[in-house]
Chain A
Amino acid sequence: MDLIVGGIFIYAGVIKAVAPLRFAIDIDNYKMLPWAIGVRLAFYLPWLELVCGIALILRFFYRGGLLILTALTFIFIAASIIAKVRGLDITCGCFGHTSKNWSFTAHLALDFAILITLIALWVSSRAQQREL
């Protein structure tokens, strides 16, 4: 499971890291942050996803990686719901423009599935730690 979740975040990170300007516009679509912050996040967040995805696969700083990815996914879900409630047309998801044609429900279903898996991995890592 670590491999799958880590791989998903590596893919999501790479796809956005290669086109940071596109991702900056995607972040700006949410109308939650000033452009100056959004554009800097567009350069940073893909690398954070990538680094954490690698951490999960290599099990190096595993729990730190899980913590960050869980927080990121939670924030992303909250931002998507807020944007939807505000009537904004959100054309991007956690996979940048690759997922721009997905419906909002499909976005949310995938994001919740990832969030639940991350929480499950967190719980299982805690249980393993207690056993040691």
Chain B
Amino acid sequence: MKVSAIRQALLLIALAFVPAIGEAIYFRDRVSWRSPDRSSEMVNLDQAQSWGANAIWVDARPDNEFEQGHVPGAIPLNEDRWNELLPTLLAQWSLEKKIVVYCSSQSCNASREVARRLRDEAGLKEVFVLQGGWETWLKSKR
């Protein structure tokens, strides 16, 4: 039986839905389906600053950007040097501390990814992504 390439493609497209739907069901509670960040995982600058010494600021930007300027006391933690930098954060972390991760701006993704890894891989609770990132911090200081 000869089946045209387009018909074959349509069948393969349909076939791939089966495992994909299964995986999506498995992950359904761990994924934010409507927006990249769950609102409970975001924090605005005022709120984060109100935590004072109870907040650990984590800079998820590349090293060169961190060196050019960062939130006072922030710890660098980016994906390039994850294993090397993580112990510094863990040394400062304690149960009552909240972690505020930021990257360059609202549109960057590094803070989300670092926050996700801190929750999933390092098993830390109370990890938040700073809305607006470094850009918002800079604006607030002008």
Which residues of A are interface residues toward B (Cβ below 8 A)? 17, 20-22, 24-25, 28-29, 31, 35-36, 39-40, 43-44, 46-48, 50-52, 55, 61-68, 100-101
Distance, CA A67 to CA B112, complexed state (A): 35
Contact B23 A67 (CB under 8 A): no
Mask, B14-54, CB within 8 Å of A = 1, is 01110110011001001111111000000000000000000
Interface CB pairs A-B, < 8 A, 11:
A17-B19, A35-B34, A36-B35, A39-B31, A47-B19, A51-B16, A63-B8, A64-B9, A64-B11, A66-B5, A67-B9
B contact residues around A62 at 8 Å (CB): 8
Q: Choose from A39, A44, A63, A100 the contact partner of B33 (Cβ within 8 Å).
A: A39
A/B pair count, beta carbons within 8 Å: 91
A contact residues around B113 at 8 Å (CB): 22, 25
Contact A17 B30 (CB under 8 A): no
Distance, CA A46 to CA B20, complexed state (A): 8
Which residues of B are interface residues toward A (Cβ below 8 A)? 3, 5-13, 15-17, 19-20, 23-24, 27, 30-36, 79-80, 107, 109, 112-113, 116
Contact A67 B6 (CB under 8 A): yes
Given contacts A25-B113, A68-B12, 12 further A-B contacts (CB under 8 A): A20-B23, A21-B116, A31-B107, A44-B20, A47-B17, A48-B16, A51-B12, A52-B12, A64-B8, A65-B8, A65-B9, A67-B5
Distance, CA A57 to CA B52, complexed state (A): 58
Contact B11 A61 (CB under 8 A): yes
B contact residues around A29 at 8 Å (CB): 109
Q: Choose from B6, B35, B116 the contact partner of A64 (Cβ within 8 Å).
A: B6
Given contacts A47-B20, A67-B6, contact A21 B11 (CB under 8 A): no
Contact A63 B19 (CB under 8 A): no
Contact A55 B23 (CB under 8 A): no
B contact residues around A31 at 8 Å (CB): 107
Q: Choose from A35, A44, A46 the contact partner of B35 (Cβ within 8 Å).
A: A35
Nearest-CB distance from A34 to chain B (Å)? Answer: 9
